[in-house]
Amino acid sequence: MASSSISCAKLLIITMVVLLILASCFISTSFSVRVVSDRKPNAKPLGFTARLIHRDSPESPFHDPKLTSTDRLRNAIQRSFDRYNHYTGKPNGLGTPVSYRTSEYVISHRIGTPAVDTYSMLDTGSDLTWLQCRPCDNCYDQEIDIFDPRKSTSYVKLGCEDKWCREEYSSTCDRDGSFCRYQLDYADSTYSKGILSTETFGFQNDTGNINITEFVFGCGHHNNFSYYIGGTKGVPGMLGLSKEPLSFISQLGLDRFSHCFTPENWNETSLLRFGEDAIITDDTTPMIDHDNITTGTYYVRLEGISVYKTKLNIPNGTFDISEEGDGGVVIDTGAAHTHLVLAAYIPLVEEMKKQIELERKLDPKNVFAHCYQTNTSHMTADMIGMPEITLHLSGLDFDLVRWNIWLERGDGIICLALLIASDDLTVFGAQHLQNVNVGYDLRNKVISLQNTDCMPNY
């Protein structure tokens, strides 16, 4: 009798072990992305915060100490125009990735097992995250070693039948039908080609290390980076934050994120918050799409602009998206500066002339078109009473920070830091998002904007 009881007990234990193993296998194959924290292993964090570096910061791989502030400004404006031309050129339609070379912020992270340090450009206008990988058929120079997936135990190539291979619009099957190949071509001749794969990505959080396992990315074995200034080298890759399925935020299943950019001349890191760490305020405006076409880009509806208390006489429909998908208003972290359509720029400048009792001047550095002479060489826009500019977004009146709008150009001359758009699209870039908390709530399809102090509190 005792022997029979022991045998039943053993059988019960064996059955329970088998069930646990089967459950474990089911869990590991049911989720394409697992996020774990070193504080609580195998638990998906509700949110985390990462640090961003402006591309001209001394901590950035793009930093060139030989460049003057005017050189950096000219380069930023050129990048901004390159990016704008990519948007409006639409060489391959709405799905075309935004130009890689023009992004303004770098994010540090780790990849692989064992983990190695790397960094990527941050872009809310792109979806697929990719990195240069060895072996390289063709790779551009970068400051750190190129990632070698052969040394990582967590690297996996995706097969042609994988669902993510079907999600990536530029993917194809390789010749032997084994692996999924991707190809990203940008308007500036930059490109990345390689194998769609999964890997562990790691981020440094204020309270620990965050590891994202089985994250889908492009392992680029054939790449070209066409943007070199002053001998700088290329960034290892791109981290995409658009609304498309393969973007970083979509894969994590976190439906909100926010960023707060510090002014670049402070050389301080900015913060990028995900999930419950994200700051979404009550000051929101809807994300909009073009008819039934959902794009990964963050469009908003701009209904008008005021200079101080005077609403500008801007023709109806100036900021609308046409039936062909042209025009509209985009919030874009990758664009350095703001491009305002001519139909709005002209009445804005004319109203400025009426309200500002200062002598008009030419920009001594020949960068901006609308400038004034002040009585001090170290002014602030608030000190000399420059008028506010208010954006009347759908459901939200947002005041642009004056020292973001007016830039000192030397000898007491200040200039309006707005670029004239060459097409029907208006783009609000990173310059005018400094010291602004921008929150993206994908579930409720709104974007929040709130002026604040973005200096991190360490």
- Same domain? For 193 and 244 the reply is yes
Count CB atoms within 10 A of the CB of residue 293: 11
Q: Which of 32-46, 198-212, 327-341 has the lowest mean pLDDT?
A: 32-46
CA distance 342 to 30: 51
Known catalytic residue at 123: yes
Please identify, among 248, 275, 302, the residue that sits at the C-terminal boundary of a domain: 275
**pLDDT tens, position by position, 276-297:** 999 999 999 999 876 544 456 8
- Same domain? For 112 and 246 the reply is yes
Residue 47 belongs to domain spanning: 29-275
Is the distance from CB of 435 to CB of 258 less than 8 angstroms?
no
Asked whether residue 3 is assigned to any structural domain, the reply reads: no
Which one of 56, 82, 123, 188 is the catalytic residue? 123
pLDDT at site 88: 72
Predicted TM-score (pTM) of this structure:
0.81
Q: What is the mean pLDDT of the chain?
A: 80
Asked whether residue 53 is assigned to any structural domain, the reply reads: yes
Which one of 56, 277, 332, 424 is the catalytic residue? 332
Residues 56-79 have a mean pLDDT of 79
**How many distinct structural domains can be found in the chain?**
2
- Same domain? For 251 and 154 the reply is yes
Question: Of 55-59, 163-167, 315-319, where does the model show the most confidence?
Answer: 315-319
**pLDDT tens, position by position, 126-180:** 788 999 999 998 988 888 899 999 999 999 999 988 888 876 656 788 767 789 9
* Cis geometry, peptide bond prior to residue 114 (ω within 30 degrees of 0): yes
What's the pLDDT band for 216 if we cut at 50, 70, 90? very high
Position 425 pLDDT exceeds 80: yes
Query: What is the CA 347 to chain-centroid distance, rounded?
Result: 31
Question: Of 152-161, 242-251, 373-382, 406-415, where does the model show the most confidence?
Answer: 152-161
- Same domain? For 233 and 290 the reply is no
Position 210 pLDDT exceeds 50: yes
Position 275 pLDDT exceeds 60: yes
pLDDT at site 353: 93
The helix/strand/coil state of 24 is helix
CA distance 117 to 236: 11
What's the pLDDT band for 36 if we cut at 50, 70, 90? very low
> 300 or 91, which is more confident?
300
Write phi, then psi, for 381 (nearest 5 degrees): -60, -35
- Same domain? For 232 and 357 the reply is no
